[in-house]
């Protein structure tokens, strides 16, 4: 069992998930919880250290987010970051005011490298700032351990109580020695042992699932993607033949996907796979629907209905296994995050669903899921397959979803994947796919006027899907993809390339 845990109190910061990733990269387990969590509840969770995240609010505002003051009386090390640093100062009797000079971006940071959090770091380094308020009066017991030209209190500490606060963001790459600071907090200050590994995660998850399911039956939704595959293999390792995998062919899949998924899981892992042909049901339910959120809700609801019909064959089935990841949960919205888009395996589930959910990957990022898959001996060809959305091609087909549109998109998407692989770039991009935007344009083919479909090519680089940048594909690769689509998909006469990052856009178009 895990003996160490870091809790991150989430005040709505855009980098909160990145803090978690950085801590996990140090082989230390962490969880993100609401800042509203009572101190006694946090005490029951037995954290070895606590981090206060950043946030968009100002501590000077009325009704600004504030955690239970008892959190600072638990006797564990605390690191406050940006808003978290200001909140710590205010809660402990210091003073925070609106800054005369705002700081955004890279700054020169001068540190006291005798302070444990800055041990081994040059006295002058580079940090990333993003704040409009500043700490002007330190709480009792604190001293300044870092400053910038515009921020005299860029870092402060009460070394005896192991309280540290930094106005900058050590979790971002722009803070050059940020990871060293995080490691110092975790190991030198908090005394953690770095005992959280993918091997231990797999072992603990198997034990947990086995205990929860017991001798009951579980149903697993298989899509063929990395997430559902890893979740299924992990749960199968725990409960064996008590797991029944159902692959729903919803008519929204990529070319030849249904056949490939069924064959792989049966041959490689000897799993019980039941394929359900529900193409007509999904397309009928989506008829006339154009609004993206409505599409997702319909797909999620139809998915569950199909499952409920299929599980009548398994009278003891009480559990539904899903490959939900942490970015899915965050983007579907919580108390500190607006709903960007609901995911079919989070926001799309009906309230009266009879299954108890098992989501063994719910707190993991994509790269961590791949590490788990490696521990389970899942082939690299599966683990490094590009992410594919649960609603499938329905959210890459803008406007109404029809079989004709899906057929066009499937063929174009297949060409994108094929040519990216031929160019040796498949593992260098996070996702590369085609979108059918429901836009027609005039063209000339064979000396004749055409009025054909447009295909949007989307390729991005990312580490976890939370943020992404458009991939700088070589011109010759883009040219080849465009020509191949035009030549092989006769309905298309124009190909365009999406060069927008996330944010401000999302990776998918709907």
169 carries an active-site annotation: yes
Q: Nearest Cα to 17, choosing from 382, 334, 320?
A: 334
Check the CA dihedral 338-252-250-228 and report its sign. Answer: negative
- Residue 122 near residue 78 (C-beta atoms within 8 A): no
Active site residue 171: yes
Q: At what angle do helices 366-375 and 198-213 cross, to 10 degrees?
A: 80
Residues contacting residue 329 through CB under 8 Å, at least 6 positions apart: 346, 362
Q: Choose, from 131, 169, 236, 242, the residue flagged as catalytic.
A: 169
**How many other C-beta atoms are found inside a 10 Å radius of the C-beta of residue 286?**
23
Say if CB 156 and CB 141 are below 8 A apart: no
Q: Which of 82, 151, 220, 245 is catalytic?
A: 82
Q: How far is CA 353 from CA 222, 361, 432, 470, in A?
A: 18, 20, 34, 38
DSSP state of 367: H
Beta bridge partners of 95: 137
DSSP string covering 296-358: HHHHHHHHHHHHHHHGGG-TTEEEEE----HHHHHHT-BTTB--S---TTTTTS-TT--SEEE
- 4, 103, 171, 318: the catalytic one is 171
Cβ–Cβ under 8 Å, residues 86 and 96: yes
Axis-axis angle for helices 257-269, 226-239 (nearest 10): 30
Asked whether the beta carbons of 365 and 327 are under 8 A apart, the reply is yes
Rounded alpha-carbon distances, angstroms, from residue 446 to 408, 449, 483, 496: 20, 8, 15, 21
Q: Is 223 left (phi over 0), alpha (psi -120 to 50) or beta?
A: alpha
Element (H, E) at 258: helix 257-269
Structure tokens at 377: 């001996």
Positions annotated as catalytic residues are 82, 169, 171
């Amino acid at each position: 069992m895990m003996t160490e845990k870091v809790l991150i109190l989430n005040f709505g910061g855009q980098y909160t998930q990145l803090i978690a990733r950085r801590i996990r990269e140090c082989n230390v387990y962490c969880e993100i919880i609401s800042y509203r969590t009572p101190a006694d509840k946090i005490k029951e969770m037995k954290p070895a250290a606590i981090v206060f995240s950043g946030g968009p609010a100002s501590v000077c505002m009325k009704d600004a987010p504030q955690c239970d003051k008892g959190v600072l009386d638990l006797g564990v090390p605390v690191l406050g970051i940006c808003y978290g640093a200001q909140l710590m100062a205010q809660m402990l009797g210091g003073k925070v005011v609106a800054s005369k000079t705002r700081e955004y971006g890279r700054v020169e940071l001068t540190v006291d490298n005798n302070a444990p959090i800055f041990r081994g770091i040059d006295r002058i380094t580079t940090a990333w700032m993003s704040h409009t308020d500043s700490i002007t009066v330190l709480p009792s017991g604190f001293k300044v351990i870092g400053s910038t030209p515009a921020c005299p209190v860029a870092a402060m500490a009460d070394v005896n109580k192991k309280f540290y606060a930094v106005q900058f963001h050590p979790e971002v790459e722009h803070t050059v020695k940020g990871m060293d600071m995080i490691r110092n907090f975790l190991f030198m200050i908090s005394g953690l042992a770095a005992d959280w590994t993918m091997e231990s995660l797999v072992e603990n998850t198997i034990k947990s699932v086995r205990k929860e399911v017991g001798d009951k039956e579980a149903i697993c939704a298989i899509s063929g993607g990395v997430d559902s595959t890893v979740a299924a293999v992990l749960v199968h390792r725990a409960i064996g033949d008590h797991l029944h995998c159902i692959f729903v062919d919803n008519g929204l899949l990529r070319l030849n996907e249904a056949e490939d998924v069924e064959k792989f899981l049966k041959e490689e892992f000897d799993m019980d796979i039941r394929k359900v042909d529900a193409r007509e049901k999904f397309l009928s339910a989506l008829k006339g629907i154009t609004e993206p959120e409505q599409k997702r809700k319909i797909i999620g609801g139809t998915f569950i209905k199909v499952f409920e019909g299929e599980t009548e064959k398994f009278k003891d089935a009480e559990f539904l296994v899903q490959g939900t990841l942490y970015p899915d949960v965050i983007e579907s919205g919580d108390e500190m995050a607006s709903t960007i888009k609901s995911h079919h395996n989070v926001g799309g589930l009906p309230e009266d669903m009879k299954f108890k959910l098992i989501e063994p990957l719910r707190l993991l990022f994509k790269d961590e899921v791949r590490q788990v898959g490696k521990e389970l001996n899942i082939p690299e060809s599966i683990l490094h397959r590009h992410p594919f959305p649960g609603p499938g091609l329905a959210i890459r087909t803008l406007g109404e979803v029809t079989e004709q549109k899906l057929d066009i998109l499937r063929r174009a998407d297949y060409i994108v994947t094929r040519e990216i692989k031929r160019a040796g770039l498949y593992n260098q991009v996070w996702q590369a796919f085609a979108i059918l935007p429901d836009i027609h344009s005039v063209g000339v083919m064979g000396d004749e006027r055409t009025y054909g479909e447009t295909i949007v090519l989307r390729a991005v680089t990312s580490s976890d899907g939370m943020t992404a940048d458009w991939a700088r594909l070589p011109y010759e690769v883009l040219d080849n993809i465009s020509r191949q689509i035009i030549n092989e998909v006769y309905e298309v006469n124009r190909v365009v390339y999406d060069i927008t990052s996330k944010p401000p856009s999302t990776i998918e178009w709907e």
